[in-house]
Structure 1
Amino acid sequence: MMIKVAIAGARGRLGSAALQAITAAPDMEVVAALDYKYDGLYLHNSMITEEPGGVPFYTSLAQLMTDTQPDVLLDVTDPDAVFNNVKEAIALGIRPVVGTSGLSKEKIAILTELSAAARVGCIIAPNFSIGAVLMMKFSVMAARYLGDVEILEMHHDRKLDAPSGTAVKTAEMITKVREPHVQGHPEEQEHQAGARGADVEGMKIHSIRLPGLLAHQQVLLGGEGELLTIRHDSFDRNSFMPGILMATREVIAKTDLVYGLENIID
């Protein structure tokens, strides 16, 4: 079966890399790009022109569906656009694969209900890197024995949300095996607001945003007289492509929403 894919965010860095990876996959083809502008124009590699034969742009997902009939919508836009894109895609019977972080628990819950009601598969992945997913899994294994945890996530300075979706997902996974408790001194005083980071059931998350970074995370687990550090680094957006292709193939058989790539990795 040839999987027909539409991409929301095809002009961005991640979207451009995904377009190339999907085009190179033998069982997939990119049939359209969803954007807030350039309706009626075509994407030829990185050039936008009026010449037919490239990937057509649409500003309307409904019109995109009528004209190109995609099986999957890969959304790598931003938190402001992704929620409405996914809601509309599910209503139209297009299976969303979401690589945009920043969706709240409440919005994920709404999308979960919509996906189940329509029996339209959806995969939301805070991180498409296989290595990052393994880092999260290993952190959960370690947190069973070392329950004092701090997460340090580092990203490029153009990232909109903090903490990152990967850090939030890691913390959520760890809460399933860790007893909630306050870390540090019981009378600890924070003399500068935010100095101790975000709090998730006593765990701390610290966000760094600097040019030169891409996507990096350390999970630090402390014990009596020891420290375990689990670290993952993405140096190139190509590290996300195997996960994007995996999710695009897996979502075809789903009839509900899957939150996190770890749920489709053995």
Structure 2
Amino acid sequence: MKKIVVAGFKGRMGSTAAKMVLDNEDFDLVGVYDPRATETSLAGDATFNNVDVPVFTEREAILSVKPEIWIDFTVPEAAVKNTKFALEHDISPVVGTTGFTDNDVKQLQAIAKKRQVGGLIAPNFGLSAVLMMQFAKQAAKYFPDVEIIEMHHDNKLDAPSGTALKTAEMMQKERGDKPQGNPDKTESLPGARGANYHGMRIHSVRLPGLIAHQQVQFGAVGEGLTIRQDTYDRASFMTGVALACRKVTDHHELFDGLEYLL
């Protein structure tokens, strides 16, 4: 059984991840982490079926349960420190927190390479989202004029989403830099055309009732192509998280994207 700790267990994604670990016979939830927690165990929490799993408020204390995998659904500034801590103690991180900078990822990958520890940072663990990004990358070779519309719940901290940025990065490698629209026309309302990423536009929608949705819309003379992905339940992400937990320890580097483990 793989010994796993979950950071950010009080959040919606973190609690879902902790329950996923408990539900899998080949996983062992040896601890959960949140520096703001006041409880010392999950034994009194019906959300987690009152299991007697220790709650940690300090990273160093987690080493006492000797975890092999660190699942992280926290916030960017905490996740970077958590991932660095995990790698430096030979714990494989599986990170779903978005907001990492390119420099953050490079520094963490250097640590993983030095320590020979496998890990994963993924903007999205939904298999349909990973396929959507792959399809969009292929389509960008033939339809360089494209815009991204990403839609999330109104409590999401970052905009655009990590998935939208990853999609844009993947398409940019195929299409290059290409300004879109009439450069002589100005916006009558600033921001109306969305964020500009190497010429393509990204639009972020934040509304209650949404979870995670993305539409990649391509246009050409006389035709168009739309690739859309919808997440209706956070449980859908857990297939990818479980897959990552089973595979990361077989590797000796930190991957940036779930597609590298598929």
Shorter-chain TM band: over 0.9
1:253 paired residue number: 250
1:14 paired residue number: 13
Matched, 1:240 2:237: yes
1:54 counterpart SS class: coil
What is the identity, as a one-letter code, of the residue corresponding to 1:141? Q
1:59 paired residue number: 57
What is the identity, as a one-letter code, of the residue corresponding to 1:236? D
Aligned-pair CA distance for 1:192: 2.4
Alpha-carbon separation, structure 2, partners of 1:185 and 1:43 = 57
Tell me, yes or no, if the aligned pair for 1:62 and 1:92 is still in contact at 8 Å: no
1:28 paired residue number: 27
Paired residues, what number?
Answer: 261
Range 151-160 or range 180-189, more displaced: 180-189
Range 229-238 or range 107-116, more displaced: 107-116
2:174 counterpart SS class: coil
Matched, 1:73 2:70: yes
1:223 paired residue number: 220
Matched, 1:189 2:197: no
Q: Deviations over 1:83-142 (max 9, x none)?
A: 011111111111110001111111111111111111111100100000000000111111
CA distance 1:91–1:39, change in 2 (3 Å): farther
Alpha-carbon separation, structure 1, partners of 2:173 and 2:45 = 44
Q: Deviations over 1:56-89 (max 9, x none)?
A: 1111222111x20000000001112100111111
Aligned-pair CA distance for 1:188: 2.4
Normalising by structure 2, we get a TM-score of 0.95
CA distance 1:250–1:202, change in 2 (3 Å): same
Q: For residues 1-266 of structure 1, what are the structure 2 equivalents within 5 Å?
A: 2-38=1-37, 41-44=40-43, 46-47=45-46, 54-65=52-63, 67-265=64-262
Alpha-carbon separation, structure 1, partners of 2:5 and 2:61 = 12
2:171 counterpart SS class: helix
Alpha-carbon separation, structure 2, partners of 1:179 and 1:86 = 32
Aligned-pair CA distance for 1:43: 1.2
Tell me, yes or no, if the aligned pair for 1:39 and 1:58 is still in contact at 8 Å: no
Gaps of 5+ in 2: none
Normalising by structure 1, we get a TM-score of 0.94
Aligned-pair CA distance for 1:39: 6.0
What is the identity, as a one-letter code, of the residue corresponding to 2:174? V
Tell me, yes or no, if the aligned pair for 1:11 and 1:46 is still in contact at 8 Å: no
CA distance 1:203–1:30, change in 2 (3 Å): same
CA distance 1:215–1:144, change in 2 (3 Å): same
1:4 counterpart SS class: strand
